Chain A
Amino acid sequence: MMQAVVCSKCNGDPRGSRSCNQCKGAGIGIQSEEGFLVWATEINEVSSALRKLRIKVNAIVHLALMTVIVLCLIAFFASVIPNYTIEDVQTWLFWTSGHWFVTVFYVAIVLTAYFVFRMNEFTAQAKDLPGWMEHTTYHVQRTTPDQGGERGTKYVVRGTSFEVSPFFSPQAIEVVEAAYKLAKDLGRVEVTPEILFAAVLSSHDGALFMVRIGVSFEKIKEPLVRLMMRASAGVPPIAFSRESKRVLVAAYALADETHRKHVTPMEIFLQAFQESEKLQELLDDLGFPFSHVSHVAQWVLLQSKLREDQERFVSLARLKPKSVMNRAMTARQTSLLDRFSEDLTLLARQGYLAPMVGNQNVMEELLRGLESGQQGVVLVGETGTGKAAVVEQLARRMVEEDVPEILFDKRLVSVNLAQVVAAGEPGLAAERLLSMLHEVAMSGNIVLALYGVEALVGFGSGPMDLAETLASEMDKGYCLVIATATPQAWTQYLERRSLGKKLVKVVVPPADTDQTISVLMVKSGGIEYQNKVFFSYAALEKAASLASRYLHDVAAPQNALNVIREAAVAVRKTKGEQAFVSAEDVAKIVHDKTNIPVEMVTHEESKQLMNLEARMHGRIIGQDEAVVSVARAIRRARAELREGKRPIANFLFLGPTGVGKTECAKTLAQEYFGDETAMVRLDMSEYQDQASIAKMIGAAGDERGGLLTEAVRKKPFTIVLLDEIEKAHSEILNLFLQVMDDGRLTDGVGRTIDFTNTIVIMTSNAGTAFIQSAMSEGQSIERIKTALLERELKSVFRPEFLNRFDGVVVFKPLTRDEVVQIAWLMLNQIGKRLELKGFKFRAEDKIVEDLADAGFDPQFGARPMRRVIQDRVETPLADLLLQNQASRRDTIVLGDHGELRVEKAGEI
């Protein structure tokens, strides 16, 4: 909030300040360019009733005046036309000889003048703020506040008072009056910021605010009344407290600073909210922290400001020519260029291009680059960061002529490069390009916009491709070029070529969450209008945060925009028109796109999460410790308690083969990512030499990228399973140090791959012999783990590597009992498959024990089991089914000696 000061002349003393000529009785104000801003207008029932009455009376008076004027004129013409000729009317005598209808005509003239006077003096809603109509950057001209001059303020000199109330819109004045009435109804003698705040809520903007924040008035009513009752009680007169005067004056300052036309209720709202800590606490209690509330208020403000901005844009755009001709008339027709291009300034002038949000730095850099004397600028940024928006904003500013001299009176033309190179024959394309550039040169008023300029590279004969052609033409200095490219295209095709060297590189960074939210705020209006739904603020915030975390194909803010677009359509289809898009709706869209459970944890799901261990044991036999650590990691991730900067979890699974390490990873994929195959699995035995790093993360210049990095880039929510990590080259382990710590990895092409949504699992057989011998000695898992970390693994892994794991999980060798359970598990799976075909399946206990004996190998754990079951159960089963020995509803029994027999089902 701007610094408010107590009036230095009267010290804000309520008695002395009445006659104080600095503050006009306000006692408090803000120093500004216009003078000492004060609110000295008295508000009470009389003033408010009078204001309303005045509006009504004025309307009646004006209507009456108009009627009389029209009647007078009708009477005049009705009397003159039938009875007098034009010659008669041209005589002086006619006008002075006392005809009653001539007198009536004179009266009509005088009344018209009076009417003009009244329309000027009595119907102006509010004065325009001084900052309104001001360019934001170039040619700043500060007008004196009186230039609009409706309601007679004197010229102001710094230091004297400046009354702000004439700049308040009628709605804002109504809010101030409503606050007075509210104070009176509650029996208070002063209007506090809390009362002002409550009064705003009853206005149209306030209602919109409640809708956006997604809370009903009933919920907020009671605590708000309690807050308002803190103001001192007593009998009228009711005065505005010093704090609320400060709020009103600050509302003016805010509106002026943001180039508003008038002060509206939302400015009062924002300032009242900032002024009162109690209000902030109240809303915080309801789950809306300070930043949330002020963002919602800014959103409401923004939407009305956008309308005002459009009004200003239209009035500034009037002078821009409607055709290819510039105002100096030096340009000429560009028929070829017109065929392959779009005039962005013309589109902007007609209102087809939306204003840009944020990225002010980029715009400044762009203009600086153009002014620096280089022939062009290239905007480099990922798809979706808003490169086109920057170019389109430049077109808008060129329409307003709010640009440096070099762009003045020029037009911005976007060339369709695909169409240019579509000539088929390189020579023809080059000829086209040159002819177009010739037109640009002759015309002299054209700035070229080339989206995806890398399209020109490599298209041509030999080393002289279109990019070279353009570069050599740019040297001649007759035209400015604004190009765009993705970082990959820039590095690969442009940076080291002469075209790249002629362009000033301006990076367009992806929007952060806050910027994304502002973009969504601006764009939401159009989407709401199209789909006839409303967004809550929580929905926008969710879209921004989820998109930045989970949707990486397109950069922010485009990814978030896509999400809210889809959410709006989905909500309209499911809930109908006029429905609300909530944060849950947005989360559902992200879930559908990614399969990640991103919604709030529901009650049912929380129960499921708490039973996770039991469910995991349905697939993993034994290995209690492993199951517990993994389940904990999932719960942490679902409750959003983890740090955002690392993978969801890093695990090292130790133990002999065939004891369930891979199975555990698959179960995890199923439980957390909803799909057993959400897994990138790399066998480290294939990455034993240094050259294999390139295989993993890709090599410079190779667009295909690496196996790991590409897989994670395309599917960032996945388990990264690295088998037999002890076999990997030490450099690869170093790479993973960074992944486990920062959650990201830079691939060979230079892209940063995000690993924060992965679960990294490394398995190792290192120390297996030790585990086996220690287990047979009957040592506890805890002791074995300590011994492993302190002795056995030291020779294999570096300590800093081991330290980075969230859990080092030791898988025990399986006992015979567990192997029997596994055999049951596998047979049950066969049973389930048979059930789908309509058969029942049963196995006798003895054969299961036999299978377990045959399938268990101390060295390979339960791994041979699958083969044993395949040979001894699945193969005979297949023969049996192919021979049609069993029909539907029959029970197939695996007997004691491994034989299969069919128990026929009874007749129906």
Chain B
Amino acid sequence: MLQSTTSLTKLLFVDLIGSVAWFPIWWYTKGLKKMIQWCIEGLNYRVKQYAFAIWLKNFFVPMYGQYDWQGRLVSIFMRAVVIIGRVIALVVEAIVYVVLVMLWALVPPFAFILALQNIFLGRV
């Protein structure tokens, strides 16, 4: 019984205190990886949603079933515009994601340092 109690307290102790020590390491290893993965998944979903493959494959197929030559011309133009527009949107979104990842990496230590600075140096 005694043995199980000690191991229990020990494990709990390790669990709680250990987690504090494990936190910074996790933040820059698994956590960062997870964050990047989340961003990649988001981008992947967006790529699927923008359907680039389908649009490129159908580049010369007129939109809205307009098979006359004017329709074809307008449609090629429109497709080019839409694809370029979507690429731009995707790039912007990617930049947002990159910023998010950078924030993930930088904000906590920065906040931590500033907090220390505020406490110990304060009112310079």
- Binding between chains A and B: yes
- Contact surface of A with B, Cβ cutoff 8 Å: 45-46, 49-50, 53-54, 57, 61, 95-99, 102-103, 106-107, 109-110, 113-114, 116-118, 120-122, 147, 149, 152, 319, 327-332, 409, 442-444
Q: Closest Cβ of chain A: how far from B72's Cβ, in Å?
A: 12
Chain A residue nearest in CB terms to B33 = A149
What are some 14 contacts across the A-B interface (CB < 8 A)? A97-B124, A110-B112, A114-B20, A116-B31, A118-B19, A121-B19, A121-B22, A121-B26, A149-B34, A319-B49, A329-B64, A330-B64, A442-B65, A443-B65
Q: Which A residues are CB-close (under 8 A) to B51? A: 327-328
Which chain B residues have a beta carbon within 8 Å of chain A's beta carbons? 4, 7-8, 11-12, 15-16, 19-20, 22-23, 26-27, 30-31, 33-34, 37, 48-49, 51, 54-55, 57-58, 61-67, 107-108, 111-112, 114-115, 117-119, 121-124
Q: How far is the CB of A688 from chain B (nearest CB, A)?
A: 68
Chain B contacts for A98, CB-based, 8 A: 118-119, 121-124
Shortest CB-to-CB span from A238 to chain B, Å, is 14
Contact A53/B8 with A107-B115, A110-B108 known, Cβ cut-off 8 Å: yes
Chain B residues with CB under 8 Å of A319's CB are: 48-49
Whether A99 lies near B118 (C-beta < 8 A) is yes
CB distance from B29 to the nearest CB of A (A): 10
Most buried by A among B7, B12, B19, B62: B19
Chain A residue with the shortest CB-CB distance to B50: A327
Q: In the bound complex, do residue B122 and residue A117 qualify as a contact, i.e. CB atoms below 8 Å apart?
A: no
Q: How far is the CA of A95 from the CA of B58 in the complex (A)?
A: 54
Partner of A110, one of B49, B65, B111: B111
Interchain CB contact under 8 A, B30 and A103: no
Q: Are B57 and A328 in contact (CB under 8 A)?
A: yes
Nearest CB in chain A to that of B1: its residue: A45
Secondary structure dominating the interface of A = helix
Query: Are A329 and B114 in contact (CB-based, < 8 A)?
Result: no
**Among A49, A109, A122, A152, which residue has the most Cβ atoms of chain B within 10 A?**
A109
Docked-complex contact A106 and B65, CB < 8 angstroms? no
Question: Could you tell me the distance between the alpha carbons of A95 and B107 in the complex, rounded to whole angstroms?
Answer: 14
Instruction: Quote the shortest CB–CB distance from B117 to chain A (angstroms).
Output: 6
Given that A53-B8, A61-B16, A152-B30 are contacting pairs, would A109 and B54 also be in contact in the complex, using a CB cutoff of 8 Å? no
B121 partner residues in chain A, CB cutoff 8 A: 98
Q: From residue B24, how far is it (CB to closest CB) to chain A in Å?
A: 9
Residue in chain B with minimal CB distance to A409: B54
Contacting residues, chain A, for B63 (C-beta < 8 A): 329-330
Q: Which residue of B lies closest to A319 (CB)?
A: B48
- Minimum distance in angstroms from B120 CB to a CB of chain A: 9
Once the chains bind, are A45 and B4 in contact (CB under 8 Å)? yes
- The minimal Cβ–Cβ distance linking B51 to chain A, given in whole angstroms, is 5
Of chain B, the residue at the smallest CB distance from A107 is B115
Complex: A49 Cα to B8 Cα, angstroms: 9
Taking a contact as CB atoms under 8 Å apart, the answer to whether A120 and B31 are in contact is yes
Residues of B within 8 A of A327 (CB): 51, 54
Contact with A332, one of B26, B65, B117, B118 (Cβ below 8 angstroms): B65
Distance (Å) between the CB of B77 and the closest chain A CB? Answer: 13
Chain A residues within an 8 Å CB radius of B112: 106, 110
A96 with B27: in contact, given A328-B58, A328-B61, A332-B64 (CB under 8 Å)? Answer: no
> Known interface pairs A45-B4, A330-B58. Does A96 touch B65 (Cβ–Cβ under 8 Å)?
no
Distance, CA A107 to CA B119, complexed state (A)? 11
Contact A97–B122 (Cβ < 8 Å): yes
Find chain A residues with CB under 8 A from B11 CB: 50
Which residues of chain A have C-beta atoms less than 8 A from B117's C-beta? 96
A122:B19 contact, CB within 8 angstroms: yes
B31 CB contacts on chain A under 8 angstroms? 116-117, 120
Q: How far is the CB of B21 from chain A (nearest CB, A)?
A: 12
Q: How far is the CB of B36 from chain A (nearest CB, A)?
A: 12
Q: Which of B34, B58, B108, B123 contacts A97 (CB 8 A)?
A: B123
Contacts of B48 in A (CB 8 A): 319
How far apart sit A45 and B23, CA to CA, in the bound complex (Å)? Answer: 29
